[in-house]
Amino acid sequence: MKGNVENNFYEKEEMVETLIDSDRSRKAMKNLMEIVKCLLGEELKFLEIGCGTGEFLERIISIDGRLKVWGVDISKVAIDKVKEKGFEGFVLDVSRQEMPFSDDFFDIVYLGDVVEHLFDPDFMISEVKRVLKNRGILVLSTPNLSSWHNRLMLLFGFQPFFSEVSTKRVFGRPGEKVVGHIRLYTLKALKEFLSYYCFEIVKVEGACFHAFSHSLLLIDKFFSKFPSLSSIIIVTAINRKG
């Protein structure tokens, strides 16, 4: 029953959205472009976990003719649109289901604001490690529990941004849209989590929260220079096997 409820939640039309023009997507795309330029080989295999309707896949494939891309998402609505765009896509709950790829298959895996939605991130990261080549690249972004504004929210007794206590509506802080966040990470926790699974972190970057008003966005842009205080954390890591 729990799985059906979760799947139904992500099949809602308002949940199948893209943040392709958000600060975190732009910065992740820039990082990935730099990574692709440095990689050798006639073909580079790229996987986006939580690919939504495929807008990020459309942009990433245009940067290098060697790229071949795949996407997975829990939403059938999203994956149907991915396939309409000509990409290979799979409906998958990465918290529970093994990915339909062989070991050491991908050169790059991207998770854009996905890990905070997972009941079992350990299962997911183990699968990522399996399908990613030795010294393959993982780029991951996620909201920051210890962002500058969340520290203020807690100080005054409000529920932190990005956290939710209900699947029906937002309680304890301003906001109307429930997006299904389950786990939140500080920068320290995220680093320790990835290091535990033998990912070597090579770059950490902050990004802004797309939903802020102009005045808050100016403040947020300043704090994005400090990843431990930024709204969004972007991590680039190398998979170490053996």
Q: What are 120's two structure tokens?
A: 């079992």
Q: Within 13 Å and on the Cβ side, how many CA atoms surround 171?
A: 4
Q: Write the CB contacts of 183 (distance below 8 Å, at least 6 apart in sequence).
A: 115, 116, 118, 121
Position 2 scores a pLDDT of 38
Residues of the chain with pLDDT under 70: 1-19
Q: Which domain holds residue 99?
A: 2-239
HSE-CB at 183 with a 13 A cutoff on CA atoms is 14
- Domain holding 163: CATH number? 3.40.50.150
Q: Give pLDDT, residue 18.
A: 56
Residue-level pLDDT at 10:
58
Cα–Cα distance for residue pair 170/176, rounded to 1 Å? 6
Of the candidates 212, 63, 199, which has an alpha carbon nearest to the alpha carbon of residue 140?
199
Confidence at residue 12, expressed as pLDDT on a 0 to 100 scale: 53
Give every CB contact of residue 146 below 8 A, 6+ residues apart in sequence.
Answer: 186, 187, 228, 229
**204 closest CA partner among 189, 182, 183, 219:** 189
pLDDT (0 to 100) of residue 211: 86
Q: How far apart are CA 229 and CA 213, in angstroms?
A: 18
Q: What is the pTM of this model?
A: 0.91
Cα–Cα distances in angstroms (integers) from residue 202 to residues 132, 136, 161, 192, in the given order:
16, 12, 27, 14
Q: If you ran DSSP here, which 8-state letter would residue 185 be given? A: B
* Number of domains comprising the chain: 1
State what percent of residues in the chain have pLDDT above 70: 92
Instruction: For 102-165, give the DSSP string.
Output: -TT-EEEEEEES-GGG-S-HHHHHHHHHHHEEEEEEEEEEEEBTT-HHHHHHHHTTPPPTT--S
